[in-house]
Structure 1
C-alpha cells in the first residue's frame, strides 16, 4: 500500500453490497415473522394446538411430522416452539426448546450430550457436560437433573429423526416421566422426518408414546413458491431482481416436489452469481446457472462426511449413469467400474458385498434409488439395480469437490 493511500481491503470493507440488502432472509434456517411463512396456516395451528398444554406447565403432546424436503416442516416447528417459549415465559412457565439436527447428531450419546448442553446453565446447576468421555447413562442422569432443576417444560425437536442410528433415545425421552427419570419437568418430542415409512421402523412402545399426533406437510405449488420468495424479496436491494427471476426460480423448484429450500437456494445463488459477475441485476441466465449450483450444493451436503469408499461407489454409478439411457446399473456392473475408480484413487477395493452395503446405505439416505428384477428362465435369481436421484454431472461435480476425486479421469471413460 502506498504511503497515505487506502488499501484495497479498506475500500471493500467500506463498500455496500450492490445486490443484497439482507441476505439472511434467504437462509432456510432463518425463522421469519409469521406473515412471511406462506401456505402453512393449518400446519402452524395443528402444531400449536399439539403443544398448547406446555404454555401453562402441562405436558405437550408428542408429535410426528412428515413431508418431503423443503415443505416447511423445520421452519414451522421452530417458529411455533419459539413463539410458545416466549408466551410461556410471560405466563411464568419455564418452557425451553432444543433443536437437534439428526444428520449431524446420529447416535444416542451425541443427542443426549447436545440436549444436556443446550438445556444446562452450569452457573446455576454446577453440572458440567463434557463433549465426550462419559458413559451414556451418566449423560442421561445429568440431563434429567438439569431438566428438573431448571425447567418446567421442554420441547425437543428432532429433525430428520430417521437418520438416527437407533431409536433408544426416543424411548428414553418419551417415557422419562413414566420411568421416574424426571420428577417435575414435562418432556415433549416433536419428531420430523422426510420418510412417511419411518414409523414402520419404530418399536410398538415408542410408537404408542410418540404418535399422539401425526401431521403431513404437502408440497408447495409454483404459486406458493412465488409468494414465499416475494415475501423475502427485500433480501435484495430495490430494483435488483429482474421481473422474470422469481417466477423462473419458483417454476424450477416446483419441478422438485415444491421444494422451498431449493427455491431460496436458487434465488440466493443467482444473486451471488450476479454479484461475482459485476452485474447490476439478477436475470434469467443467473437463475438457470444457479439451479445447477443449488443441486451441487444439496448433493454435497448429502454426501458430507461420507467415507471415501462410499463416494467411490456412488461415483462409479455416476459414470455408468452417464453412459446409459435409463441411468440404471446392476451391482455387478457398478462393482467393475468401482474397481477402476479405487485403482485410480490408489485405495483398496472392498468386496462386492461390502460395496453393495455402502450403496444400500445411500438408498436409505435418499441419495440413490434401487429396484430388484427377477431374471428370466429357469434358475435365474434376482438382480439389484441402482440409479441416481440427481443428474450424473451434478453428482460428479459434488463428489469432485473432495480433492481426492478432483483429477479422476475415469469419469469420462
Structure 2
C-alpha cells in the first residue's frame, strides 16, 4: 500500500506506522494469541474505531464479554436449552417420554408421543432434552441416530416441514447435498430426507412443535409414521408431536390415529416454587449481587398467579435486566420487574396482531382510543363513527360498517377484546357491545408500535 493511501476502514481508524513499529519490536518474543490481543488493543485505542462505537458499546464493556448487569445474557434467551441440572419440576415427564422412545437405542421402533399443555409448561424443553440424550446413547451404542426439531408455527405447511427436516438432516449428517429452498413439493423433500436417513442413520426422532399449526397435519403425520412400513426408508422414525390444543388428537382421522397409535401426556402449568427455582438456576446470567433480594420471588409469584408459564417468567426477568442495563442502574429491582411485566405484555400483543391487516390495527386503535379508565363497552355504531375519524387522521380509506364489524369479531377471537350481545329493550332489537380485555395502555402502545402511520400520529411512540 502506498504511503498516502488509506485502508478500507478510513484513515482515522487505521493503525499508525509508529504503533506498528513499536508492536513489531517486541513481536519476536510473543505468541500468536498475544499478538492478536495486542493488535486488538491498538485498534481499540483509536478514538474512531468502529469496534468501540459508543452507540452500541458503553464505557466499561469494551471487551464485549459482559456489562455491569449482565454476565451471560443468553441464559435467559428463549431458545436456550438448559443442561439437565437446570431443568425443574419435570423429572417424571422426562422419564415418561424417554420410556416411550427408548426402543430406538435397541434398533427397534420407538412409540409416537403427543404432548399437550399450555405454553411455557416445558413441553419443548423436555422433548429436546430427552431426544438429545437418546441420540447420544444410541450413537454410543453404535446405532447412528439423529433428532430434528421443527417449529411448526413458522413451517405451517407439510411442504415446509418436509423441507426443514431434509435440510436439517443434510446439515447434521454433513452429506453436502444442496437442497433447494423453493421449487419442490413435499414428496421431493421427503425423498431427499429418506435418502439421507438411509445413508447415515438407523433411527430418527422428529419433534413437531405446535403441530396443530400445520395446514395438513394429518398428511404429515401419516407420511412420517408409515415411512418404514411403506418402504420409504429402512430406519426407525419416532414422532414427538407437541400441541396446546388438548383436543388435537381427537380431531385426527381414523387412518392417522391407527398409524400413529400415540401415547399422550399432559404437562400441567408450573407452580410458583418451581418457577422460582427455574429463575434461580438462571441467576448467573447476571453479575454477582446485582439482582436485589425478592426480585426473583416476586417474578415467580406474579407469573404463577397470572399464567404458570415459565417461558414468560424467564422473559420478564430478561427484560427487567435489559431495562436496568439500559438505564445504567447498578441493580435489578422490583421496579424494573414492574416495567418488564408491562413490556412483556406489550410484546405479546404485538406478536398477536403482527399478522393482522393495517385496517384491523386501525379498528383496534379506535377501540383503545375510546376506552377510558372505567373500560366501558361500546356499540359497533359508536366504534365505527370514531374509526372513520381515525382513518381521516392517518389518511386511510375507511372500510364498510359490516367489514369493521367482522374485524371486531376477529379481535375477540384473538383474545384482545370481547363482544357481548345486548337486548335493546322493547322495539330496540339486539346489538353488540365491544370492550378491551387487555390493559388499554398495553394495547395502545403495542398497536402504535406496530403501525407506522399510528406511530407518526403519536410522534414516534405512545407513552404509558
TM-score by length of 2: 0.77
Q: How many residues align?
A: 408
Structure 1 portions without partners, runs of 5+: none
The 8 Å contact of residues 146 and 204 in structure 2, kept in 1 or not, is answered as yes
Q: Please name the residue that 2:23 is paired with.
A: none
TM-aligned CA deviation for residue 314 of structure 1:
3.6
Q: Please name the residue that 1:300 is paired with.
A: 350
Query: Distance between the aligned counterparts of 1:80 and 1:292, measured in 2?
Result: 34
TM-aligned CA deviation for residue 19 of structure 1:
0.9
Q: Please name the residue that 2:63 is paired with.
A: 14
Query: Distance between the aligned counterparts of 2:250 and 2:257, measured in 1?
Result: 9
Equivalent residue in structure 1 for 2:282, among 227, 232, 239: 232
Query: Which protein shows a greater Rg?
Result: 2
TM-aligned CA deviation for residue 346 of structure 1:
3.5
TM-aligned CA deviation for residue 228 of structure 1:
1.0
The 8 Å contact of residues 170 and 176 in structure 2, kept in 1 or not, is answered as no
The 8 Å contact of residues 62 and 209 in structure 1, kept in 2 or not, is answered as no
Distance 1:225 1:376, change over 3 A: same
Equivalent residue in structure 1 for 2:106, among 28, 31, 56: 56
| Secondary structure at the counterpart of residue 206 of structure 2 | strand
Equivalent residue in structure 2 for 1:83, among 117, 128, 133: 133
Query: Distance between the aligned counterparts of 1:63 and 1:122, measured in 2?
Result: 23
Query: Distance between the aligned counterparts of 1:272 and 1:7, measured in 2?
Result: 27
The 8 Å contact of residues 227 and 233 in structure 2, kept in 1 or not, is answered as no
Q: Please name the residue that 2:220 is paired with.
A: 169
1:186-228 Cα shifts (integer Å, max 9, x gaps)? 2222111222133344323223444511111111111111111
1:69-104 Cα shifts (integer Å, max 9, x gaps)? 111111111111111111111111222111111221
Query: Distance between the aligned counterparts of 1:13 and 1:273, measured in 2?
Result: 20
Distance 1:24 1:126, change over 3 A: closer
| Secondary structure at the counterpart of residue 13 of structure 1 | coil
The 8 Å contact of residues 226 and 250 in structure 1, kept in 2 or not, is answered as yes
The 8 Å contact of residues 368 and 386 in structure 1, kept in 2 or not, is answered as no
Equivalent residue in structure 1 for 2:320, among 261, 270, 295: 270
TM-score by length of 1: 0.86
The 8 Å contact of residues 122 and 128 in structure 1, kept in 2 or not, is answered as no
Matched, 1:399 2:450: no
RMSD: 3.3
Query: Distance between the aligned counterparts of 1:54 and 1:137, measured in 2?
Result: 25
Q: Please name the residue that 1:41 is paired with.
A: 91
Point out which structure has higher relative CO (alpha carbons under 8 A, 6+ apart): 1
Query: Distance between the aligned counterparts of 1:378 and 1:318, measured in 2?
Result: 31
